[in-house]
Structure 1
Amino acid sequence: MINTFWQISAILVSVLALGVAFWLYTWIKAQPSSNETVQHVGDLIRKGANTFLRREYVLLARFAGVIAILILIFLPSPIWSGNWTKNLTMAFAYICGTALSALAGKIGIQVATIANVKSAEAAKKDIKLSFMAGFRGGAVMGMAVVGFCLLGVTVLLSFTKDSSAILGFSFGASSLALFAKAGGGIFTKTADISADLVGKVELGIPEDDPRNPAVIADNVGDNVGDVAGMGADLFDSNVASMAAALIVGMALAKDNANIVLAYAGIGLLASIIGVFCARMGSSKDPTTALNKNTYITTGVYLLLTALATFMFGFEWRIWGATMVGLLVGLIIGIATDYFTNDKKKPVQLTAEASKSGPALTILSGFAYGFFSVLPALIGIAISSLAAYKICEPLGGNYPLFGISMAAVGMLSIVAMIISNDAYGPIVDNARGLVEMGNLGEEALNITDELDSAGNTVKAMTKGFAIGAAGLTVIALLGTFMNEVNVAAAIAGKEIISGFDIMNPVVFFGLMIGIPIPAVFSAMLILGVDRNAQRMVKEIRRQFKEIPGLREGKAGVVPDYSKCIDIATTGALRELIPAGLMAIITTILVGFIGGVQAIGGFLTGNIVSGLLLALFMSNAGGLWDNGKKFVEAGHCGGKGSDAHKAAVVGDTVGDPFKDTAGPSINTQITVVSLVSSLLAVAFLSYSLF
């Protein structure tokens, strides 16, 4: 039976996390800010971000409403079959998943657009205070996302006692994350690319120069893409890992839910401890400080879960599988750091190649990006194999439960990971505010250093999230098999033990699944391309038609709102088609080839999706930090030919790392959940 103690404990830890988020919010608001220009620009960024988020959420609410109605009618079985309460529960769970994910994103935006102003103002005094404002702003997002996630899953499980209802909750979170990440990514990279191409490359003006009409849209994009979008992405990954573990575990024994809730709750508690330990040491190195936070949280989690396993008699093999996921997550982060940190050779050699032009910048980034895929995929392979083998002596489906717990372990400290990730766009905004508010060269140097650390850590968190998604979707493939076999047993059909690629139906699904992440990525990147073309024309028009703008005459300001509107309208137009393509293709493959074809489809989708997601995320981060390495005075410095080439590399990498790459792991999660939800339908109705 599910132990009430662990349900109550999980709820209490969730409430504690939300309380910590509120305390951090009040601390950030209490920090001083007096510069009128910084305050005005900060208000413009806040208004733009909230406007986009409101319009995006209205669109997604309509989409979610349609999906909720379809779930109510058809899932888990047609409502006219008699068991309408399960359909109602599934639809309600779906709505809860979308609502809580959206709420976490909204909270993140509200805090981030305050923290950026406070971090900018603090940079006039001290790097440590500026760092704390940025990190604690990100920590509000981390606490809110994981707090709502654990609270939602625990309350839903407590009331329904049905792990399959968590599938609906997870699908709600995943579908919102898919479109929120895509929409936010298209918005932010439209503005970023356009501002860089016209401002830096064509006119040679600084990155956050207030003369550039796209500069506010760029700062708005940091929030809607990297705060709200990434928060929704990791909310989705965390819920999906818990859903897979609960479904597989509870099919073996109901009390396995206690282990999932215990380890997830301890992970959030460890992250809370880690947030309060966050300090910049005497070295004043923000990257070291952020990494130290992660290591402290990891150590606390390892010790507390071992103590809980000993005290409450949990199976040590399950603990071992969980720890494998946790440690491999750290290894993936370290490998990502090597390929994206400007203190390491790959970034420096790519910057050096920029001296010979943008072609070599892009070739170097591609090569190192592909190299970076190997350690992460080896890590995922080792963790899944090790977790399987550790739990194999337990028999039954426990090896698969071990893999799902490895995913839970990898995402156990996700609140800290989100805190580090959201820190990045906050200090990026702070750097722009320092420049636009003329807060001085020292403040600009401080925020440049904080921003560089943010780029490195953002790349690490994206690699971490993608790696966790890899383990999660392997577990979700097991969840799909579990749902199929339950239905097959009832219908008296053959039980599935695996998918043989020599079976032509499985191979058919495999070959359809492989290109889906590539097509999905292409649709998002083309969305950025089309939108950026429109914005580049608008920026050029303003510089041409507004007298005195290019010269920076006093009182002459660009029309920032026009660029924000272009980014918003284009992003909302482009965000739906790519996601729908992936979902519709999954449904078609299922009804054509049945469950065997879906097994192949999911396998192909997972493998190619992980490779592309890791490559694009890491290559993009490498190009970004290569540009910043040049701007720091290396390889010719700002304004040199190497700088212009590095900017071109960065503009190629922008939609890679912030639009397509991190959206793929959400895409593979969504199609895995759609497959599990429709498993009975695919088993009952298919051409082959």
Structure 2
Amino acid sequence: MYVSTLAASDLTLAGGDYAIVGVVAVVALAALAIGFVLLREVLAAGEGTSKMQDIGRAVQEGAAAYLNRQFRTLGIFVVIVFVLLFALPGDIGERVGRSIFFVIGAVFSATIGYLGMWLATRANIRVAAAAREEGGREKAMRIAFRTGGVVGMFTVGLGLFGAAVVVLVYTGQAPKVLEGFGFGAALLAMFMRVGGGIFTKAADVGADLVGKVEQGIPEDDPRNAATIADNVGDNVGDCAGMAADLFESYAVTLVAALILGTAAFGQQGLLFPLIVPAIGVLTAVVGVYITRAREGEGGLKAINRSFYISAVISAVLCVIAAFVYLPSSFDALTSPSDASVVTAMAGSDPRVIASVAVIIGIVLAGVILWLTGYFTGTEDKPVKTVGESSLTGAATVILAGISIGFESAVYTALVISAAVFGAFTLATGSITVALFAVALAGTGLLTTVGVIVAMDTFGPVSDNAQGIAEMSGDVEGDGVGILTELDAVGNTTKAITKGIAIATAVLAATALFGSYRDAINQALTEAGGTLADAGTAFAFEVFAPNTLVGVIIGASVVFMFSGLAINAVTRAAGAIVFEVRRQFREDPGIMEGTVRPEYGRVVDICTRDSLRELATPGLLAIFAPIAVGFGLGVGPLAGYLAGAIATGTLMAIFLANSGGAWDNAKKLVEDGHHGGKNSPAHEATVIGDTVGDPFKDTAGPAINPLIKVMNLVSVLIAPAIVTFSVGDSASTPIRIVIALVAVAIIVGAVVVSKRRSTSIADTPAESTVS
């Protein structure tokens, strides 16, 4: 049975507790300071030739223009959601705090994304320049990884600082206020992921189809009008989008841990989830600074070694912290949530439960790193198999990549499930403590988030560096090989971080189930009803037909969301193809190299289309839980979340790993295997990579914030659903009207989106200039 969380008025912090939170806040600020130190180091590196700098400035201007327009668009959503959050039932202090910290979470998420873009667009030319120097491989790798280190430090610093401030100011009300903080971070991250993903892959697909396939010119040839947009897209999609994504993973996992911590461990449960990521800050610094490739050693091996070292240090320090801070029995916990928890867990040691849970999360990160690296790395059998399939054409390349994606999704999902089950079984006597253990596993996984962000940013920075080197023509000899190697390593690290990000989504979403049920129980108590009084709409049994309907709808939403994202890339890429073809056709001087293409025109098309297309997936994520909850009840809504988590996990991993395998198979052929560049095998892998682009960089990564947005929306609306279902305020007509309005918004958005699909085919010329 679930127990109710501790009432806000019953939980206070002593002087020593305030000191602990204060230390955590100082550690968070220290992370920001270290980020600034790394930032100065990156910017101190040489910027290369004037031609490199010219290309770099074009990328910087395009990326900044896109994000500025995106933030203006998203500002409207933030204002609307702020008002809606304030209108939800609850104590006035909670409502004000939750709404304000929703904005703060959104601003922090946007700040992380913007910083990731801003620095990456300046680091790319420095990585390209370093590859030309003596010891270029070591210098280029260090700059690329420490660029990610800056973003990693700001991610952990802002996330931890925001949570610490909420706990200091709101104490017992902190979990409710943190719901707003996590929701703001998740919502902005999802929009940035979708919008940035559409931008980057529309440009990438368009550039590849016309440049590589039709014109037979290199990937980043300056004669291709889409090359600048492609490089811009790497930054707004992979750097800005993924940085915001990992920040919201950090924030939402903390939210889940703090909500459940107050119920499971009382006062210590509110503070221990802050101590664990504070330790992660220290280990992230170690991981960033020790990353360097040894002589004759692959870059991926060096990065993996740093990750594992930092993970081991995190595990040791977290165990020490658990045994120093937590008591040896549940009887000794300060302000226990409920006597039933203490009774149920009699004889158990909170220190052991917390330690093992955190270690499970850290081990999960390491296993996913190895597993994803195996399925997407150029040195392992799966990618080599995709490369070999290129000898028989594009169709077999696509089939091989899909097969690898399906297979890897099963293994990764089983590993994540084992971690969730292992953490859950640590406290079989109390489901509240068991769910807190799952949340602690999530915080354990995220002790490595600083290194994870560095790994992810490393990818697009290396990709951009190679593009700038090819466009400028100023990198020759060994420098070309260095950048090619770093680009291939970056493809793998990006796939790894996507796998780890989806693992955090599952852990956080599973933990949030506890707060979801608790929100329902509290609302029922206030309404003077019980689950038994509420009828079948409150039945949580999976074998109940209405709950099963919820599961099916939840799974369907993941498919619809993925389809909308991929279709958006298809339409936007079509517009890019027509525009690049038009430029080649109307001005032969472009192909001859005597006329400069209209790069800005392609950037404008990508910006317009991506901002137009991001609304529909976003509205689906927000209003689908509202439609199910108010229309069918909280029981089916629980099923909806279960279906979305299960399907989303498999879909996200499948899309990410298929795309990663196709991308690196192309790199393998370009390195000289199976005929090398401009061979039939190369053309086949380019087609595979083109299919995989929206898989791995648009739809797949966006599922991660999607899951958490839907979970947080459900937690936030659960009391309102109960209010209109039970007691004096019950009103079936109001519930039905709310559900129908939500459905109408979703249907309208999808219909409008689908109508756009004919514009490219019917009026190609107009679609590129409107």
TM-score category of the 2 structures, normalised to the smaller one: over 0.9
Code of the aligned partner of 1:335 = L
Question: What corresponds to 1:200 in structure 2?
Answer: 212
Aligned mates of 1:237, 1:328 — CA distance in 2 = 15
User: Which of 64, 72, 79 is the aligned partner of 1:50?
Assistant: 64
Question: What corresponds to 1:381 in structure 2?
Answer: 417
Question: What corresponds to 1:663 in structure 2?
Answer: 702
Written as runs of structure 1 = structure 2, the 5 A alignment for 1:266-665 is 266-313=279-326, 315-393=351-429, 395=430, 397-438=432-473, 439-495=475-531, 499-553=540-594, 556-665=595-704
Question: What corresponds to 1:124 in structure 2?
Answer: 132
Aligned mates of 2:702, 2:680 — CA distance in 1 = 33
- Percent identical residues: 40
Deviations 1:481-535 (A, max 9, x none): 1211222233333259982122122122112111101100100111100000001
Assess if the C-alpha contact under 8 Å between 1:191 and 1:221 holds in 2.
yes
**CA 1:396–1:619 in 2, change beyond 3 Å: closer, same or farther?**
closer
Code of the aligned partner of 1:411 = L
348-357 or 544-553: bigger deviation: 544-553
User: Which of 149, 152, 162 is the aligned partner of 1:142?
Assistant: 152
Q: Is 1:86 equivalent to 2:88 in the alignment?
A: no
Q: Is 1:71 equivalent to 2:85 in the alignment?
A: yes
Aligned mates of 2:226, 2:198 — CA distance in 1 = 14
Q: TM-score, normalised by structure 1?
A: 0.97
Code of the aligned partner of 1:47 = E
Assess if the C-alpha contact under 8 Å between 1:329 and 1:468 holds in 2.
no
Code of the aligned partner of 2:452 = I
Aligned mates of 2:432, 2:531 — CA distance in 1 = 14
Code of the aligned partner of 2:214 = E
Aligned mates of 1:76, 1:642 — CA distance in 2 = 61
Question: What corresponds to 1:160 in structure 2?
Answer: 170
Code of the aligned partner of 1:425 = P
Code of the aligned partner of 2:506 = G
Question: What corresponds to 2:104 in structure 1?
Answer: 96
483-492 or 188-197: bigger deviation: 483-492
Code of the aligned partner of 2:683 = K
Aligned mates of 1:42, 1:455 — CA distance in 2 = 21
Deviations 1:171-223 (A, max 9, x none): 00011011010000000000000001111111110111111100000000000
Assess if the C-alpha contact under 8 Å between 1:594 and 1:685 holds in 2.
no
Aligned mates of 1:85, 1:625 — CA distance in 2 = 52
* Displacement after TM superposition at 1:76 (Å): 3.9
Question: What corresponds to 1:251 in structure 2?
Answer: 263
Structure 1 spans left out of the alignment, 5+ residues:
78-82
> SS at the partner of 2:365?
helix
* Displacement after TM superposition at 1:289 (Å): 1.4
Question: What corresponds to 2:743 in structure 1?
Answer: none
150-159 or 566-575: bigger deviation: 150-159
Aligned mates of 1:436, 1:585 — CA distance in 2 = 45
Assess if the C-alpha contact under 8 Å between 1:127 and 1:284 holds in 2.
no
* Displacement after TM superposition at 1:673 (Å): 0.2
57-66 or 474-483: bigger deviation: 474-483
RMSD: 1.4
Code of the aligned partner of 1:638 = K
Aligned mates of 2:359, 2:413 — CA distance in 1 = 18
Q: Is 1:187 equivalent to 2:199 in the alignment?
A: yes
Question: What corresponds to 1:264 in structure 2?
Answer: 277
Aligned mates of 1:612, 1:268 — CA distance in 2 = 31
* Displacement after TM superposition at 1:577 (Å): 0.7
Assess if the C-alpha contact under 8 Å between 1:128 and 1:284 holds in 2.
no
Aligned mates of 1:268, 1:312 — CA distance in 2 = 18
47-56 or 266-275: bigger deviation: 266-275
Aligned mates of 1:373, 1:96 — CA distance in 2 = 35
User: Which of 25, 33, 36 is the aligned partner of 2:50?
Assistant: 36
Question: What corresponds to 2:746 in structure 1?
Answer: none
Query: After the TM superposition, which parts of structure 1 deviate over 3 Å for at least 4 consecutive aligned residues?
Result: 495-498
Aligned mates of 2:379, 2:275 — CA distance in 1 = 39
Question: What corresponds to 1:684 in structure 2?
Answer: 723
Deviations 1:534-559 (A, max 9, x none): 01000001111123211223xx2101
Assess if the C-alpha contact under 8 Å between 2:432 and 2:514 holds in 1.
no
* Displacement after TM superposition at 1:621 (Å): 0.3
Code of the aligned partner of 2:287 = G
Question: What corresponds to 2:347 in structure 1?
Answer: none
Code of the aligned partner of 1:37 = K
**Structure whose CA Rg is larger:** 2
> SS at the partner of 2:592?
coil
Aligned mates of 1:390, 1:597 — CA distance in 2 = 28
Aligned mates of 1:490, 1:102 — CA distance in 2 = 37
Assess if the C-alpha contact under 8 Å between 1:321 and 1:391 holds in 2.
no
Aligned mates of 2:256, 2:545 — CA distance in 1 = 28
Question: What corresponds to 1:62 in structure 2?
Answer: 76
Deviations 1:304-338 (A, max 9, x none): 11221232235221110111111012111211111
User: Which of 242, 246, 250 is the aligned partner of 1:234?
Assistant: 246
Assess if the C-alpha contact under 8 Å between 2:48 and 2:126 holds in 1.
no
Q: TM-score, normalised by structure 2?
A: 0.87
Aligned mates of 1:501, 1:308 — CA distance in 2 = 39
Aligned mates of 1:207, 1:624 — CA distance in 2 = 13
Assess if the C-alpha contact under 8 Å between 2:192 and 2:241 holds in 1.
yes
Question: What corresponds to 2:228 in structure 1?
Answer: 216
210-219 or 381-390: bigger deviation: 381-390
**CA 1:403–1:519 in 2, change beyond 3 Å: closer, same or farther?**
same
Aligned mates of 2:298, 2:21 — CA distance in 1 = 40
Aligned mates of 1:122, 1:538 — CA distance in 2 = 34
* Displacement after TM superposition at 1:582 (Å): 2.3
Question: What corresponds to 1:80 in structure 2?
Answer: none
Question: What corresponds to 1:173 in structure 2?
Answer: 185
* Displacement after TM superposition at 1:346 (Å): 0.8
Aligned mates of 2:711, 2:374 — CA distance in 1 = 31
171-180 or 62-71: bigger deviation: 62-71
Assess if the C-alpha contact under 8 Å between 2:125 and 2:468 holds in 1.
yes
Assess if the C-alpha contact under 8 Å between 1:602 and 1:672 holds in 2.
yes
Aligned mates of 2:31, 2:74 — CA distance in 1 = 27
Code of the aligned partner of 1:274 = G
**CA 1:366–1:654 in 2, change beyond 3 Å: closer, same or farther?**
same
* Displacement after TM superposition at 1:684 (Å): 2.4
Deviations 1:426-478 (A, max 9, x none): 01100011112212132111100000000011111111111121111111122
Assess if the C-alpha contact under 8 Å between 1:76 and 1:90 holds in 2.
no
Question: What corresponds to 2:713 in structure 1?
Answer: 674
